[in-house]
Structure 1
């Protein structure tokens, strides 16, 4: 009964479940990265991104005021205040506290700890404390205190300010962002323009060796990128291009042309022949046919390749490493900047998450803006 026309296949639910799983596998890390980019370092270290909307229990290291603030009350020297306000930490209710990292929950709110040398410390649930001593307290820093408290959810834009507007060459992604745009936009437009002309010639113009050229283009699709990097760099150095934007544009163009020609040719060859022949009968030149008929009808295929080329170029690290001079940081792209951050900010997950989301924001926008053309372009030539 499953094969009767109009009835649903028994595999429909399996397809739906598989699709939902694939979407979830892609969506969860992306959402997690987005949420983590707005969290503080303490919150990321204490709980997962899925708990971002709920209070979390954290152990904080706080200090009392410095001994220079002590006042004398009779025979005692006293320092009073609030642990949270002393360190600009958001207020919270303390569940337990301690004075040693070996036992951070030794005392409860309102308990008094003996610190030695006649010093006593009392901490309340709201963070208020009283440190008293029979002798005058010395030193330049306050008493270190570990408190365990329920911290309310907190979101901040400081991570984005640090990554985009700090001006620090170590953390800032702003320069790398514009460098990546400088590489990606020409490296997407140039191969589309060249491939469109070549695909039209291979699809609708008769000339000797056309079949061999088509087979050659298909063969280039399987050539490993890594195989051509060093020879191509030597060629660039030999003709005086060197390492720079022009070199990386030409490299991306060369590596992207086989797929572009193959994709566009398959789409163009499937266009109605009558339209082309009627235009020729009416006296249209090949260039007029190409610009006024073929290009408008081939927009889905052009957009499909543009998505692939843009994403590949934007996320590229290997070609940029080989064909760009980034020792001074003037041409560093975002992928390379993130690698640098892994070395300098390997423990600062809030900075890494923000930098990573900044790097994927533009590709996500491009994909969702043009995804309706993606399937139409990929299916080009598959149905006659």
Structure 2
């Protein structure tokens, strides 16, 4: 019955379910990263991103007004106000509070506590407080009050402002963004150009040793990248390239060429032979055939490899660490910048989430903009 038209086998349903599961596994972390990039540090530490639209319970250290805000009310000096900012005050609610971090639940809203300086403070559920003292308040800062409160959702653009427009060039993600583009664009174009010429030669030109060259290209696909890093770096230093953008472009070109040649050669072999033979009969040279016939017909395969190469080079950290001098921060790429943020600001998860989402935003745009070419290139040759 599985072969009757209009019915689907159990295997088809299993494939569909697997695809949906893979999409969800990819989508949920990305959505979580996006939401977290707009949340504050307190919100991230208090609840998961899936609770970003609900109130969250947080332990906060707040300060009463400074002594400069005091007024005299009869024999007492009084400081009044609200512990929360204007955005939080309408919806924030205090559950318990204290004058010490060790005794956070010592008092309920409406209770009065005596501080070490002899003053007394009363805190209400909405955050209103009244601090009184028989003697004039002194000092520059207000008294600390520790509260356990329910706060409304809080979203901000300050994370992006700090990541993209930081005053320190070494902490600026914008600088790393343009450095990554400087590495990625040439490292994507150069191997495509070289691989297109090589693939045409291996597919349609007869010369001695062509089969051995194809086998050699296939063998290079299994060479670990880590195995070639140090020898390649020594070669660059020996010929005077050194560490810099040029060396990084050449390294990415070398590591990407085997797959590019293999992918494009297999695609070009499947092109109709009659078109090429007719062009040769009409007197077209190999270069004319390549530029006017092969390249236009091979655009799906070229676009497929361009997507892969762009994603690999954009997300690369190892090659950039080896072939780029980034001690001054002038050539730091985004992946390395995120590592630096993780090292220096390990507790600032809102900054890390924002930096990570900025890093993946460009690959996402490239992938969704060119996915139809990716599918056509991967499926090319599967159906005759």
1:164 corresponds to 2:169: no
**Unpaired segments of 5 or more residues in structure 2?**
none
Give the match for residue 132 of structure 1. 132
RMSD of aligned alpha carbons: 1.6
Q: How does 1:239-258 map to 2 (within 5 A)?
A: 239-258=239-258
**Correspondence list, 1:48-59, <5 A:** 48-59=48-59
2: CA distance between counterparts of 1:336 and 1:207?
45
3-state SS in 2 of match to 1:11:
helix
- The farther-off stretch of 310-319 and 75-84 is 75-84
Residue 347 of structure 1 pairs with residue 347 of structure 2: yes
Secondary structure of 1:196 counterpart: helix
Query: 1:31 & 1:259 partners in 2: Cα distance?
Result: 32
- Single out whichever of 38-47 and 101-110 deviates more from structure 2: 101-110
**Structure 1 equivalent of residue 88 of structure 2:** 90
Check if 1:334 corresponds to 2:329: no
Shift of 1:190: 0.4
Residue 155 of structure 2: SS of its match in structure 1? coil
TM-score normalised by structure 1 residue count: 0.95
Residue pairs, 1:121-200, within 5 angstroms = 121-200=121-200
Q: How do 1:359-378 and structure 2 match up within 5 A?
A: 359-378=359-378
- Is this contact kept in 1: 2:170–2:328, CA < 8 A? no
Match of 2:17 in 1: 17
C-alpha separation in 1, matches of 2:356 and 2:154: 20
1:2 alignment counterpart: 2
Corresponding residue for 2:105?
A: 105
Q: Is the 8 A contact 2:170 2:329 kept in 1?
A: no
Aligned to 1:206: 206
Structure 1 residues 222 and 120: CA distance shift in structure 2, 3 A: same
Contact 1:192 1:302 in 2 (8 A): yes
| Worse-superposed segment, 304-313 or 93-102 | 93-102
SS at match of 1:263: helix
5+ long unaligned stretches in structure 1: none
Which deviations, in whole Å up to 9, do the C-alpha atoms of 1:228-254 show, x marking residues without a partner? 111111111111111111111111101
Alpha-carbon offset, residue 6 of structure 1: 5.0
Match of 2:232 in 1: 232
Question: Taking structure 1 as reference, are residues 7 and 74 closer, same or farther at Cα in structure 2, changes over 3 Å only?
Answer: closer
Aligned-partner SS, 2:179? helix
8 Å contact kept, 1:170–1:341 = no
Distance 1:226-1:115 versus aligned 2 partners, 3 A rule:
same
The answer as to whether partners of 1:263 and 1:380 remain within 8 angstroms in 2 is no
**Contact map agreement 1:176 1:332 (CA 8 A) in 2:** yes
Contact 1:33 1:354 in 2 (8 A): yes
Shift of 1:116: 4.8
**2:217 paired with 1:217:** yes
- The CA deviation at 1:118 is 4.0
Q: Shift of residue 111 of structure 1? A: 1.5
How far did residue 78 of structure 1 move? 2.1
1:255 to partner: Cα distance: 0.6
Distance 1:153 1:325 in 2: 42
Whether the 8 Å CA contact 2:184–2:314 is kept in 1: the answer is yes
Give the deviation of 1:170 after TM superposition: 4.1
| Counterparts of 2:354 and 2:227, CA distance in 1 | 34
Q: How far apart in 1 are the matches of 2:368 and 2:255? A: 25
Change (3 A) 1:156 1:294: same
- 1:260 — aligned with what? 260
8 Å Cα contact 1:70/1:78 also seen in 2: yes
Counting matched residue pairs gives 382
**Residues 266 and 380 of structure 1 are in contact (CA less than 8 Å); yes or no, is this contact kept in structure 2?**
no
Matches for 1:289-368 after TM superposition, within 5 Å: 289-368=289-368
State the alpha-carbon separation in 1 of the partners of residues 220 and 231 from structure 2: 16
